[in-house]
């Protein structure tokens, strides 16, 4: 029985049947074979401002560290040279010779002044120090009549104000000794106090300490 609506007929425009998907006997949808036209240029990625700031701070830190290291090396070299300059061969030789002459002559005050390493003028009672100086002079006189420093063999600064000095001296043996050597080596501990060098201790390499 005919109703008010016409029967449904699947179809396209103007009654043409719809095209089915590919593989079902219908023509495939015509997709383009390639990108239409030339490819766009690559997009450049700029460094964010924060990354640039970090890079500059890193380079500045490396440069500052290099400057600090160079300054420290320069200061260390300057201190070493200034400390060694206070213990020159000539100054060390003169100080040691003055001490050996005091030992030979029995000059107890000069011996004690050297042995006290700059404290002689501040000591109120020097009797014991002068007695030790006299003993040192007597012991030296039993070995040598005189001693003359001929060379400074090595100066080893331990600070800007102290140094160990290895030296050679020509000696005249005492009449009571059988020592036939004409040269001896000794080690002196020097202290620089202002413009003066003091012999805090003296050690003969082949004997005892005076």
- Torsion over CA: 173, 179, 181, 185 (sign): negative
Determine the average pLDDT of the residues in 98-116.
95
Identify the structural domains of the chain with CATH numbers, from first to last: 89-204 (3.10.450.50)
Determine the average pLDDT of the residues in 120-148.
93
Alpha-carbon distance of 85 to 195, in angstroms, equals 12
Is residue 35 over pLDDT 50?
yes
- pLDDT band at residue 59 under the 50/70/90 scheme: confident
The reported pTM is: 0.59
Residue of 184, 188, 180 lying closest to 170 (CA atoms): 184
Burial call 164-190: b when 16+ CB within 10 Å, e when fewer: bbebebebebeeeeeeeeeebebbbbb
What would the pLDDT profile of 144-195 be if each residue is shown by its tens digit? 988 999 999 999 999 989 999 999 999 988 877 766 678 999 999 999 988 8
Percentage of the chain beyond pLDDT 70 is: 61
Q: What is the pLDDT of residue 80?
A: 46
Is residue 83 over pLDDT 50?
no
- pLDDT band at residue 19 under the 50/70/90 scheme: low
Determine the average pLDDT of the residues in 133-151.
93
The pLDDT mean for the chain works out to 77
SS3 string, 85-120, reads: HCCCHHHHHHHHHHHHHHHHHCCHHHHHHHHCCCCH
Q: What is the pLDDT of residue 81?
A: 45
* Helical residues (DSSP H) of 44-195, grouped into ranges: 49-85, 89-105, 108-115, 127-143
Is residue 202 over pLDDT 60?
yes
- pLDDT band at residue 82 under the 50/70/90 scheme: very low
Q: What is the pLDDT of residue 173?
A: 86
């Amino acid at each position: 029985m005919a109703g008010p609506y016409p029967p449904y007929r699947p179809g396209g425009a103007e009654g043409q049947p719809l095209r089915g998907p590919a593989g079902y006997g219908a023509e495939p949808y015509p997709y383009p074979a390639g990108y239409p036209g030339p490819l766009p240029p690559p997009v450049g990625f700029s460094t964010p401002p924060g990354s640039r700031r970090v890079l500059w701070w890193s380079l500045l830190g490396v440069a500052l560290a290099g400057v600090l290291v160079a300054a420290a090396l320069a200061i260390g070299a300057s201190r070493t040279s200034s400390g060694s300059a206070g213990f020159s061969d000539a100054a060390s030789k003169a100080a040691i010779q003055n001490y050996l002459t005091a030992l030979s002559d029995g000059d107890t005050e000069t011996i004690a002044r050297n042995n006290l390493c700059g404290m002689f003028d501040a000591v109120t009672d020097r009797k014991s120090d002068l007695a030790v100086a006299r003993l040192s002079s007597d012991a030296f006189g039993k070995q040598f009549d005189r001693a003359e420093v001929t060379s400074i063999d090595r100066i080893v600064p331990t600070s800007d104000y102290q140094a160990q000095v290895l030296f050679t001296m020509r000696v005249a043996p005492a009449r009571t000794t059988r020592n036939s050597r004409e040269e001896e080596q000794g080690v002196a501990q020097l202290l620089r106090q202002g413009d003066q060098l003091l012999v805090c201790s003296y050690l003969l390499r082949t004997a005892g300490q005076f």
